[in-house]
Each structure stands twice: as structure tokens, then as C-alpha cells.
């Protein structure tokens, strides 16, 4: 398929971040596509090439052709369109990619589809089972608002804060032993009660989270960490002038009620 977006690497560097967006049209609530644009801009500013391929309904996925797989959030009805297709046409490829260390990042509805299932009343949407969790649609109120969590990722010098916005009806229950992405500081998180938010593989390279905002523009440090892992680099990426990104992070934290 033709790339949706492509910028070449700076001459002589030759490195390119190859991203596959799963269902870029159907799974893009709250402009989650902004996460992809942020990855592209930060690569371009550093002379790293960027290539974005979309995989929609019925499209097969090559597990070796991408360094990072991305799926945004969606309404229940859009998720229902994607869920079976994801299992039927993409499940094996996503597992194979994750097993070789590719990054998988999924937000909200996409996060729910990385688990075993999403129970919606009488319907049970299947998930790909990359994370050991289940989601159940709750009759009660939606979990909506600004959110801030504390996360610890391999290779970072200490805990960091991820801040953003959540809006979900589903409650996600992690199996015993399934690491959360973080600990809720403000907001609801996975169930509104568990104190956990999101989920990740032990290496941190498979991440699911309820945080929109979009996630990465408000947490540029996380974008850089994911890009470093996706490219298999030992060293952190060169720093950028992040004055605006830091201000966005501070304002997202403040909106959630953290100073």
C-alpha cells in the first residue's frame, strides 16, 4: 500500500521510523491521529525519516515492515466493526511484531481491543490477547475527565507523569500479573476504583492506555521513549527545544489537578 505520510531521512543518516496505523479512519476519536503527526514531526526535526502506512478492514499486515503499530480510540460501534477483522486478519502479525520488539501503542478503544475481549451487553467483541485483560461495558456513568498517572518505564531514571484526558464507558480489568501502565494520581483509570491506568508488557514496548488528549503531544517524553525503543537505539534521542511541549504537559497536569 502507498504510505499515507512519508518524510525522508536526512542525507547520510538513513534511519526511518516505520509506523503502521491500524484502522486510521475508524479508530480516531478525539483526534488520536495527532499522536502520529507528533511522531512524524519529532522524527523530521531530528533528521529521522518517517513512513506511515494504514491498515484498514481486510488489509493484511506485514509483521516485519513496521517498527511501531498504532491504534487510536473509537466509539463502540466502530470498535465492533474492527474487532473481528483485527483478530481474523492482523492478530498473528501483531503478535509476531511485538515478540520481536516492535512497539505497539493503543489508546482507549484500541487499548480495549488489545485485551482478550470487550463485553458490550449481550455482545462479546473479541480482542487480540496481546495484553492479559478484559473490558466490560458498564451501565453506570462514563469515566470522563482529565487524568494524570505516574509511570515507570525501563531505562528512565525515575517515575514520570503522563497527563491527558479520558472518556470511556468500558471498565478494564487486568489479570493477576499483568502490569498496569501506571498508578492513577488524578482521574479514573482502568475501572475508576483499581487505582491503575492502562497496561503494558514487562519491556514497556506494548502499551495500552485510556489517555487521549491526544496522548503524545501532551507527553512528548513518552513519544521519544517509544521512538527510541521502536528504532532499537541504545541511547536516548537527541533533545529538542520542548518549551511548547513542556507547557502542554504542565497544563494537562494542572487541568487534572496536579501542580
Q: Per CB under 6 A, does 74 bind ligand GLN?
A: yes
Task: Please indicate if the annotation marks 160 as binding a ligand.
Answer: no
User: Residues 181 to 210: which contact ligand GLN by CB under 6 A?
Assistant: none
Cis peptide, bond prior to residue 214, ω within 30 of zero: yes
Between CA 101 and CA 92 the distance in angstroms is: 14
Among 145, 169, 192, 195, which residue sits at the site for ligand GLN (rule: CB under 6 A)? Answer: 169
Residue 168 or 249 having the CB closest to ligand GLN: 168
- In terms of phi and psi (left: phi > 0; alpha: psi -120 to 50; beta: otherwise), the region of 101 is left
Sign of torsion, CA 217 222 226 232? positive
* CB of residue 202 to ligand GLN, shortest distance in Å: 25
Position of minimal CB gap to ligand GLN:
73
Residue 212 annotated in active site: yes
Between CA 83 and CA 95 the distance in angstroms is: 15
- Look-up: residue for cell 517498527? 67
Between CA 110 and CA 36 the distance in angstroms is: 14
Among 19, 21, 26, 29, which residue sits at the site for ligand GLN (rule: CB under 6 A)? Answer: 29
Catalytic residue (choose from 108, 168, 188, 249): 108
Residue 53 or 135 having the CB closest to ligand GLN: 135
Residue 22 or 43 having the CB closest to ligand GLN: 22
The answer to whether 133 touches 175, Cβ cutoff 8 Å, is yes
Q: Per CB under 6 A, does 251 bind ligand GLN?
A: no
Residue 73 or 189 having the CB closest to ligand GLN: 73
Report the candidate in 70, 49, 85, 100 with the shortest Cα–Cα distance to residue 208: 70
Q: Per CB under 6 A, does 109 bind ligand GLN?
A: yes
* CB of residue 22 to ligand GLN, shortest distance in Å: 13
Give the list of residues 6+ apart from residue 59 with CB closer than 8 angstroms, or none. 1, 89, 90
Annotated binding-site positions for substrate: 142
Residues in the site for ligand GLN, rule: CB under 6 A?
Answer: 29, 73-76, 79, 108-109, 167-170
Amino acid at each position: 500500500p502507498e504510505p499515507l505520510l512519508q518524510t525522508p531521512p536526512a542525507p547520510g543518516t538513513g534511519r526511518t521510523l516505520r509506523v503502521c496505523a491500524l484502522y486510521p479512519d475508524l479508530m480516531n476519536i478525539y483526534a488520536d491521529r495527532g499522536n502520529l503527526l507528533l511522531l512524524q514531526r519529532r522524527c523530521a526535526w531530528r533528521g529521522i525519516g518517517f513512513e506511515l502506512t494504514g491498515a484498514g478492514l481486510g488489509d493484511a499486515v506485514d509483521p516485519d515492515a513496521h517498527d511501531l503499530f498504532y491504534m487510536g480510540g473509537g466509539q463502540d460501534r466502530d470498535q465492533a466493526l474492527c474487532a473481528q477483522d483485527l483478530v481474523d486478519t492482523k492478530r498473528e502479525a501483531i503478535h509476531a511484531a511485538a515478540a520481536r520488539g516492535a512497539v505497539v501503542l493503543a489508546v482507549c478503544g484500541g487499548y480495549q481491543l488489545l485485551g482478550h475481549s470487550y463485553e458490550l451487553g449481550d455482545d462479546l467483541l473479541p480482542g487480540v490477547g496481546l495484553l492479559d485483560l478484559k473490558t466490560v461495558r458498564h451501565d453506570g456513568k462514563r469515566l470522563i475527565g482529565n487524568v494524570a498517572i505516574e509511570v515507570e518505564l525501563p531505562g528512565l531514571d525515575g517515575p514520570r507523569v503522563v497527563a491527558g484526558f479520558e472518556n470511556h464507558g468500558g471498565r478494564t480489568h487486568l489479570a493477576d500479573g499483568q502490569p498496569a501502565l501506571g498508578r492513577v494520581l488524578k482521574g479514573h483509570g482502568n475501572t475508576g476504583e483499581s487505582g491503575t491506568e492502562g497496561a503494558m508488557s514487562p519491556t514497556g514496548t506494548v502499551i495500552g492506555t485510556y489517555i487521549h488528549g491526544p496522548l503524545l503531544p501532551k507527553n512528548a517524553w513518552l513519544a521519544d521513549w517509544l521512538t527510541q525503543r521502536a528504532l532499537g537505539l541504545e541511547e536516548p534521542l537527541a533533545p529538542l527545544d520542548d518549551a511548547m511541549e513542556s507547557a502542554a504537559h504542565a497544563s494537562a497536569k494542572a487541568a487534572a489537578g496536579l501542580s
